[in-house]
Structure 1
Amino acid sequence: MPSVEDMTISYAGAPAAPTIAPARRYLRQLGVDTQYVLLGFPLGLITLVLCITGFATGIGTAIIWIGLPLLAGSLAMSRGFAHLERLRIGPVLRRRIPHPHYRASKSQSWVGKMFSPLADGQSWLDLVHGIFRFIPSTIAFCFVFTWWVGTLGGLTYAAWDWALPHPPENQDLPELLGFDDTALIRVTFYLVMGLFFAVTLIPVVRGSALLEAQFARGLLTGVDELRQQVADANAARDTALGQKAAAVSAEATALRKLERDIHDGPQQRLVRLAMDLGRAEQQFATDPELARATVAEALSQTRETLDELRALSRGIAPPILVDRGLQAALTALAGRCTIPVDLDAPVFERLNPAVESTAYFVVAEALTNVAKHSHASEVQVSVQRITTGLLVTVADDGVGGASLAKGHGLAGLDDRVKAAGGVLAVESAEGEGTRLTAALPL
């Protein structure tokens, strides 16, 4: 579950990314891809020779134990080449390449640390990449080198055609084409070929670079990325289970509170109303005036009961929230509070009903707690739309001491916020007031 700081990190606003013209972006990517492929060919040669030599020597001499240190050294060397390759493929793939998890040695001795790469799967994948990377590197190098030579040579051929030896000219071809100059035909042909290579240069170079880069990514980070995806899926499942449990707990808490409020309020008044009406029925025969007074008192009890029922219905689903939105509902809520409320809730577009309902209940429960327990003289309520969602803050200058721990009044509110996928934080030092912050995702 993310923290409030994580969800509000973009509140101040991040600087917009600089826009680059498409032509400049393509040309810059062309340069990145070209240098990646051209440099990858000699690196692939060096890596192939060193890795296959170290691996073959280590395997061949492993029977006399000398090969084990050689094999461990080859794995360590291939890890170094793998680190370099991860740095190189990042600009090609236009993404940050994560550093994979290598198995740490549990041994404290230098011998155990030296041989730890032998038990690490990623180190072996690095070695496999070092041995077989020459295949995609060679293919990519052939295409990139050919296309660059074809582009530059074809477009500039007219400038150095004079310096090349040419065989005796065949006069039949110029006459057939209607030209008198064989050199013009030759220059035109090479210019057309140069234009063809130039037009197809970017996709060919891009495809060649991606071929080599994706091969490296699959071996150097693919397993670790798959492991991270599994971990993220498990974390998402745990978060969903936590939200489900929080929703069940919040619902149970709300039902218990509603049951308690009905029992302590309207139910008691209805019992008294029934008793008053029964007494009035008996008094009509003996003392009509006293019966009328009893009925009048019963009518007063009826009005008070209706007011309490309306208050309870507003707590369940306030009509103003559904009809007019969060800002109007919070304004009405602040007007009913017994403590002066400084409300900062600008009008913005309607949000998801679940988000609006949760934000409303956060403020309603917080104001109720402030009125009952804080002894505050003022409370400030702020609702802000941020990049990551909705930020609700309720701060008072009361006695403090509030807590999200189980058994306290805010525990049910915390469950309600978690059920909506948000987080709730409370700062409430003794004697310094309380600041409640809820971050709700949209």
Structure 2
Amino acid sequence: MPSVESMTTTDANSTLAPAPAAHLLRRIGIDTQYVLLGFPLGLLTIVLCMTLFWVGVGTLILWFGLPILAAAMYTSRGFATAERARIGPVFGRRMEHPQYRRPRHPGPFWRLLTPVTDGQYWLDLLHAWFRFIPSTIAFALVVTWWSGALGGLTWGLWGWSLPNGPNDQDLPELLGFAPDYGSRVLFYLAAGVFFAGTLYWVVRGAAMLEAQFARVLLCSLTDLRKQLATANAAREVAQEQKAAAVSAEATALRKLERDIHDGPQQRLVRLAMDLGRAEQQFGSDPEAARRTVAEALSQTRETLDELRALSRGIAPPILVDRGLQAALTALAGRCTVPVDLDAPQMDRLAPAVESTAYFVVAEALTNVAKHSSASEVQVSVQRIATGLLVTVADDGVGGASLAKGHGLAGLDDRVRAAGGVLAVDSPDGGGTRLTAALPL
């Protein structure tokens, strides 16, 4: 569950995007050095790892076979770690390193046995064996295109120095024609323009071929574990929201039941008793019966007023019809403590968000009127980039808490059920500041 600070903080850091040409040149440089360095590294990796592995397997029946096999595993892990660092700039992000299995028990035997039983070590070894295939293809493409681009564009500067004896043939002659020197310069220049014009895409494709092969073997298991962890975290958040919604609903029903029992139900009982007494008085004392009926009518009006108040607590019509600003304005007007309301006009939000924001303010103002002894309360509703921020602050006695058993616990459940966060800052004698961040 995110904190209020994380939902209200905006990123103040901004960077200027590089010019397109500079970005292309930088990308070509990164991809080229990645491919050119990958070819010798691939040779070294396959020689070392394959030699150690097969020597270890061949001598596994002897006591020194397991250390050699473990050395092959640790060597492939070292090359895999270096490769993860190398492919980071190609993808433009830092690649996460996997969690390798730790020895279950202390001792050299378990340290040698652990890499043999860890799947990530085997993926590293598999990459060490087969990385030479994509690195060779990528190396051939990059060298060919760089040679074609540089050689073709500069052939006119050094082509005259090439021997041109009767047995020598260059590319134009191999293609079936023998032009003069100027035509040859134009031919090689056109070839150089072709290679230079397609250099970015060829180099990028070659680098991605090699880098994607490494990413699948070296990082896919880590990405899968991360996705599972994210899914589990999302499921836990959903379960917490569901539990909070159930708790908030149960709290609201208990409060409504208590309010009906203590208010309208008692008045209706008294109304029934008054009407029964008036019925008995009509025959003997009509004047007293009329007074009793008048009192019953007064009780009926008060009961209707209480029922209207309760209905506003369930679903205030003004919120549905006119929106959050009008509902908060009416709410502030009924509060017995002066309210400084800052709620600008905004577009209609989702009904769940508007309802939650309304009940946050309503419950907070009720607590202020009942318990805070405050002389003023400030209510602020702001729409920010990450959601809706609702703040209620008073200058009362403080001491409010979100702990279970306090009046704000049910409100916290309601906010969490909407996917938001509720925070309370209420030192003793220092007033109370209630902040709710609701996602949109």
Pairwise same-fold verdict (TM > 0.5): yes
Q: CA deviation at 1:145?
A: 1.0
CA-CA distance at 1:250 after TM superposition: 1.6
Q: Distance in 2 between matches of 1:180 and 1:79?
A: 55
Distance 1:201 1:180 in 2: 28
User: How far apart are the structure 1 equivalents of 2:112 and 2:364?
Assistant: 59
Q: Could you tell me how far apart the structure 2 residues matched to 1:9 and 1:64 are?
A: 62
1:293 corresponds, among 291, 299, 311, to 291
Match of 2:92 in 1: 94
1:349 positional shift: 2.6
Paired with 2:62 and 2:391, the residues of 1 have a C-alpha distance of: 71
Q: Residue 211 of structure 1: CA displacement?
A: 0.8
SS in 2 for 1:63: coil
**1:402 aligned onto 2:425:** no
Q: 2:159 matched to which residue of 1?
A: 161
- Give 5+ residue unaligned stretches, structure 1: none
Question: Aligned AA for 1:9?
Answer: T
Aligned to 1:263: 261
2:392 aligned counterpart, secondary structure: strand
- The amino acid that maps onto 1:166 is N
Match for 1:324 among 322, 325, 339? 322
Aligned-residue CA RMSD (Å): 2.6
Check if 1:76 corresponds to 2:74: yes
CA distance in 1, matches of 2:392, 2:109: 59
> Deviation per CA, 1:111-132, whole angstroms, max 9, x where unpaired?
5445433332212211221221
The two structures have a TM-score, normalised by structure 2, of 0.90
| AA aligned opposite 2:348 | R
Once the two structures are superposed, the pairs formed by residues 61-140 of structure 1 within 5 Å of their partners are 61-109=59-107, 112-113=110-111, 115-140=113-138
Give 3-state SS (helix, strand or coil) of 1:409's partner. Answer: coil
1:426 aligns with 2:424: yes
Q: Distance in 2 between matches of 1:36 and 1:297?
A: 92
- Greater displacement, 386-395 / 193-202: 386-395
Judged with a 3 Å threshold, the aligned counterparts in structure 2 of structure 1 residues 389 and 197 are, in CA distance, closer, same or farther, namely same
Cα contact 2:70–2:112 (8 A) shared by 1: yes
Shift of the alpha carbon at 1:17? 3.8
Amino acid at match of 1:236: A
Q: Which residue number in structure 2 is paired with residue 415 of structure 1?
A: 413
Residue identity opposite 1:359 in structure 2: A
Q: Which secondary structure state, in structure 1, belongs to the residue aligned with residue 437 of structure 2?
A: strand
Asked if 1:254 is matched to 2:252, the reply is yes
Distance 1:73 1:433, change over 3 A: farther
Q: Which residue of 2 aligns with 1:340?
A: 338
**Cα gap change, 1:393/1:23 in structure 2, threshold over 3 Å: closer, same or farther?**
same
Q: Does 1:365 align with 2:369?
A: no
Given residue 61 of structure 1, which amino acid in structure 2 is its aligned partner?
Answer: T
Correspondence for 1:198 = 196
Q: Pick which of 147-156 and 110-119 moved more.
A: 110-119
Matched letter for residue 393 of structure 2: A
Aligned residue type for 1:413: L
Letter in 2 for 1:163: S
Q: Structure 1 residues 123 and 181 mapped into 2: Cα distance closer, same or farther (>3 Å)?
A: closer
Supply the distance in 2 between the matched residues of 1:437 and 1:398 (Cα, whole angstroms). Answer: 16
Map of 1:47 onto structure 2: 45
SS of aligned partner of 1:64: coil
Which runs of structure 2 are paired with 1:169-318 in the superposition (5 Å)?
182-318=180-316
Match of 1:3 in 2: 3
Structure 1 equivalent of residue 149 of structure 2:
151
C-alpha separation in 2, matches of 1:256 and 1:436 = 24
Taking structure 1 as the reference length, what is the TM-score of the superposition? 0.90
Residue 213 (structure 1) shift: 0.7
Structure 2 counterpart of 1:230, one-letter code: L
Cα displacement string for residues 296-339 of structure 1 (whole angstroms, at most 9, x for unaligned residues): 32232222222212211211112222233222222222222222
How far apart in 2 are the matches of 1:34 and 1:247? 55
Distance change >3 Å, CA 296–CA 74, structure 1 → 2: same
Q: How far did residue 155 of structure 1 move? A: 1.8
Q: Specify the code of the residue in structure 2 equivalent to 1:7.
A: M
Give 1:180 shift: 11
How many angstroms apart in 2 are the aligned matches of 1:236 and 1:382? Answer: 30
Q: Which amino acid aligns with 2:432?
A: T
Deviation at 1:206, TM superposition (A): 1.1
Q: Does the 8 Å CA contact 2:66/2:112 hold for their aligned counterparts?
A: no
The residue aligned with 1:57 is: 55
Change (3 A) 1:384 1:26: same
Spell out, residue by residue over 1:68-98, the C-alpha distance to the aligned partner (whole angstroms, 9 max, x if none): 2222222222222222211111121123311
For residues 272 and 20 of structure 1, what CA distance do their matches in structure 2 show?
80
Q: Which moved more, 1:18-27 or 1:192-201?
A: 18-27
